[in-house]
Amino acid sequence: MSAFIEPLTGRYAHIAIGGKHHRVYFEEAGSGIPLLCLHTAGADGRQFRALMNDAAVTKNFRVIAFDMPWHGKSSPPEGWQHDDYQLTSESYIEQILAVSDALALDKPVAMGCSIGGRIALYLALKHPQKFRAIIGLQASAFVDPYYDTEWLHRPDAHGGEVCAGAVSGLVGPQAPDVHRWETLWHYMQGGPGVFKGDLFFYKVDGDIRDQVGGIDTNKCPLYLLTGEYDYSCPPEDTVAVADRVPGAQVTIMPGLGHFPMSEDPEKFRRYLLPVLEKIFAAR
User: Please, what is the minimum distance in Å from the beta carbon of residue 259 to other proteins?
Assistant: 11
Name the residue nearer to other proteins (CB basis): 132 or 203: 203
Cβ distance 94 to 18 under 8 Å? Answer: yes
Name the residue nearer to other proteins (CB basis): 27 or 237: 237
User: Please, what is the minimum distance in Å from the beta carbon of residue 150 to other proteins?
Assistant: 9
Cβ distance 224 to 242 under 8 Å? Answer: yes
Name the residue nearer to other proteins (CB basis): 8 or 163: 163
Name the residue nearer to other proteins (CB basis): 154 or 278: 154
User: Please, what is the minimum distance in Å from the beta carbon of residue 154 to other proteins?
Assistant: 9
Q: Is residue 101 at the binding interface for other proteins, with CB under 8 A as the rule?
A: no
Q: For residue 70, give the DSSP letter.
A: T
Q: Within 210-229, which residues bind other proteins (CB under 8 A)?
A: 228-229
Q: Within 140-199, which residues bind other proteins (CB under 8 A)?
A: 144, 146-148, 151, 156-158, 161-162, 164-166, 168-171, 173-174, 177, 180
Q: Facing residues of 38 across strands?
A: 112
User: Please, what is the minimum distance in Å from the beta carbon of residue 146 to other proteins?
Assistant: 4
| Three-state secondary structure of 203-236 | HHHCCCCCCHHHCCCCCCCEEEEEECCCCCCCHH
d(CA 227, CA 139): 10
Residue 75 CB contacts under 8 Å (≥ 6 apart), including other chains? 22, 23, 69
Per DSSP bridges, beta strands 20-29 and 33-38 are unpaired
User: Please, what is the minimum distance in Å from the beta carbon of residue 181 to other proteins?
Assistant: 9
Per DSSP bridges, beta strands 109-113 and 133-137 are parallel
Q: Within 120-149, which residues bind other proteins (CB under 8 A)?
A: 144, 146-148
User: Please, what is the minimum distance in Å from the beta carbon of residue 260 to other proteins?
Assistant: 14
* φ, ψ of residue 281 in degrees (nearest 5): -65, -25
d(CA 246, CA 221): 10
Residues 227-256: x/- map of binding to other proteins (CB under 8 A)? -xxxxx-xx---------------------
Name the residue nearer to other proteins (CB basis): 95 or 262: 262
Cβ distance 76 to 85 under 8 Å? Answer: yes
Name the residue nearer to other proteins (CB basis): 39 or 203: 203
Name the residue nearer to other proteins (CB basis): 7 or 176: 176
Q: Count the residues of the shown chain that bind other proteins, applying the rule CB under 8 A.
A: 28
d(CA 237, CA 20): 35
Cβ distance 183 to 45 under 8 Å? Answer: no
Report the interface residues with other proteins, using CB under 8 A. Answer: 144, 146-148, 151, 156-158, 161-162, 164-166, 168-171, 173-174, 177, 180, 228-232, 234-235
